[in-house]
């Protein structure tokens, strides 16, 4: 390697290290916001076979499945995300369940890997692609080995179980686990062998059980392992294959232990949620509802931010207090700033099926959302409009056009709030307003995210559900009541 190549490699390694440290601290701020104010996480690429952490410092291996970790940011960040997933899990309790049931170590390890990756991708959606890069690297290096094991003549269920599970982990890198991976055309030979085996039913059943880890809360993992072993006691004699990602290595101590306690308290009861499909639409906005224009005028001052300024000693006004104190130059001049901070608000309008059940419900929600958007606009602010049901829609350019698009549906989708995990990361400084009936699944909300989120609940709704993820919740029967309710929804100091 010549000098130029060496320099490029060093620069690439430094860039990857910066990306790793930024990712680690962003995740720490989400799962352990209190600890993140006291300490910063640090990531180091070290000479070891697998990743490890003490809770604050994370060590990653220099190579993974033939990939140079120091030069491949997606794989490096994916390995970091995988390790952080284990930080959220009750590893000692899972180990105890493993010993009590005689479960093979590979089974506990795979359950932890599936659940950990699903959980971290749910909490921090930008990391999903990096986790996929890690699984793709394992797929390239390991799938042939797993397929050979499954095609070996005379293999019984315990002998094939580990290869069957590992193939489910890496056959389709886009997900933490795929239950029916062998039904893809590329695995036709394996499918024929499995379907001909007298243990084919058990194979499908095991894959189903492993798949449930994707939607299992961390605290339920020991119980899930016990259930699987009660169903398949013959797995006690199941031999293991090499695990690409190794064993979790968590030895939290000091402030790292405090971070782990806070992290698990915040997340251990949360079931991982699948991400919502996002669609970007080019729409032509229509005129606002007449009531929305009227209401916007009444709430405009809620978003008005006075310009800042400085005061200097210079000819201007006489400061009597300073003159009385004997100041030699008791004159002050106010220098206003050229611009005021811009209000920043994301408005999320629920257009799911439940919003159309009651007459006037979707109309009230649209009027409230449009009124807030118009008021922020008039104050010179930044408004982002989102429509959501079981998908989420944004307008081209991420503006507020969708809020003013003609309401030409009802949709048939349910209400799902998983998109908020992505939205909070995309807009870390915006106030988020949900206009909804609140009837749907909600994600984990970190304290800083919850503090800048509010909900306008349209009856018949579930304000108590919104209170789980929102700092302020108002029930709005008539959008014309919005002016007096805004003081409860958005404190003026937080919108800019």
The pTM of the full predicted model, rounded to 2 decimals, is: 0.84
pLDDT at 38: 85
pLDDT at 172: 95
| Mean pLDDT of the 39-63 span | 85
CA distance 448 to 27: 13
Residue 322, pLDDT above cutoff 80: no
Range from 17-26, 203-212, 326-335 that averages highest in pLDDT: 203-212
Say which range, 8-12, 19-23, 94-98, 143-147, has the weakest mean pLDDT.
Answer: 8-12
Surface-to-core class of residue 45, CB atoms within 10 Å of its CB (0-12 exposed, 13-18 middle, 19+ buried) = buried
Average pLDDT of the chain, as a whole number: 87
Query: In the chain, how many H helices and how many E strands?
Result: 18, 14
pLDDT at 6: 45
pLDDT at 408: 53
Q: What is the pLDDT of residues 188-207, one digit of tens each?
A: 999 999 999 999 999 999 99
- List the one residue out of 32, 158, 24 whose CA is nearest residue 446: 32
pLDDT at 236: 96
Say which range, 76-85, 287-296, 337-346, has the weakest mean pLDDT.
Answer: 337-346
Q: What is the pLDDT of residues 162-179, one digit of tens each?
A: 999 999 999 999 999 999
CA distance 337 to 495: 19
Residue 336, pLDDT above cutoff 70: no
pLDDT at 94: 96
Instruction: Name, in order, each residue with C-beta under 8 angstroms of 245's C-beta and a sequence gap of 6 or more.
Output: 50, 51, 79, 82, 113, 134, 138
Q: What is the pLDDT of residues 97-153, one digit of tens each?
A: 999 999 999 999 999 999 999 999 999 998 999 999 999 999 999 999 999 999 999
Q: What is the pLDDT of residues 362-409, one digit of tens each?
A: 899 999 999 999 999 998 889 999 999 988 989 888 889 999 987 655
DSSP state of 402: G
Show the domains of the chain with their CATH numbers: 3-267 (no CATH), 281-297+341-494 (3.40.50.410), 307-336 (no CATH)
């Amino acid at each position: 390697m010549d000098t130029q190549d060496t320099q490029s490699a060093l620069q690439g390694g430094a860039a990857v290290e910066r990306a790793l440290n930024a990712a680690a601290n962003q995740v720490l701020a989400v799962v352990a916001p209190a600890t993140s104010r006291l300490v910063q996480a640090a990531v180091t690429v070290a000479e070891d076979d697998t990743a490890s952490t003490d809770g604050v410092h994370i060590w990653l291996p220099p190579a993974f499945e033939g990939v140079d970790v120091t030069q491949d940011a997606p794989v490096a960040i994916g390995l970091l995300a995988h390790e952080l997933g284990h930080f959220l899990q009750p590893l000692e309790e899972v180990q105890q369940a493993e010993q009590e049931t005689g479960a093979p170590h590979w089974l506990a390890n795979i359950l932890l890997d599936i659940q950990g990756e699903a959980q971290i991708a749910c909490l921090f959606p930008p990391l999903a692609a990096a986790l996929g890069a890690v699984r793709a690297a394992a797929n390239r290096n390991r799938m042939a080995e797993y397929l050979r094991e499954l095609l070996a003549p005379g293999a019984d269920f315990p002998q094939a179980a580990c290869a069957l599970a590992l193939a489910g982990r890496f056959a389709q890198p886009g997900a933490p686990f795929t239950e029916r991976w062998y039904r893809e055309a590329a695995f036709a030979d394996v499918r024929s062998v499995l379907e001909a085996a007298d243990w084919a039913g058990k194979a499908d059943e095991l894959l189903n059980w492993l798949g449930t880890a994707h939607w299992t809360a961390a605290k339920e993992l020991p119980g899930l392992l016990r259930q699987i072993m009660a169903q398949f006691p013959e797995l006690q004699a199941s031999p293991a294959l090499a695990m690409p990602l190794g064993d979790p290595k968590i030895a939290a101590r000091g402030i790292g232990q405090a971070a782990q306690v806070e992290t698990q308290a915040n997340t251990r009861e949360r079931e991982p949620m699948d991400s919502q499909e996002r669609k970007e639409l080019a729409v032509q906005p229509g005129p606002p509802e007449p009531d929305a224009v009227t209401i916007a005028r009444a709430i405009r001052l809620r978003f008005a931010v006075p310009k800042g300024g400085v005061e200097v000693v210079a000819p201007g006004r006489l400061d009597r207090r300073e003159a009385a104190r004997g100041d030699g130059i008791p004159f002050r001049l106010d220098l206003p700033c050229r611009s005021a901070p811009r209000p920043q608000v994301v408005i999320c309008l629920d257009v799911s099926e439940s919003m159309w059940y009651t007459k006037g419900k979707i109309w009230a929600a649209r009027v409230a959302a449009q009124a807030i958007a118009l008021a922020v606009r008039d104050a010179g602010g930044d408004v982002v409009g989102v429509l959501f049901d079981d998908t989420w829609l944004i307008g081209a350019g991420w503006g507020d056009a969708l809020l003013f698009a003609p309401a030409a549906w009802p949709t048939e989708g349910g209400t799902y709030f998983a998109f908020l995990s992505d939205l909070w990361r995309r807009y870390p400084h915006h106030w988020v307003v949900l206009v909804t009936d609140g009837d749907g699944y909600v994600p984990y909300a970190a304290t800083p995210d919850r503090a800048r989120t509010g909900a306008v609940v349209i009856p018949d709704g579930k304000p108590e559900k919104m209170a789980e993820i929102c700092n302020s919740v108002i029930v709005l029967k008539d959008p014309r009541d919005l002016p007096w309710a805004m003081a409860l929804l958005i404190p003026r100091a937080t919108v800019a």
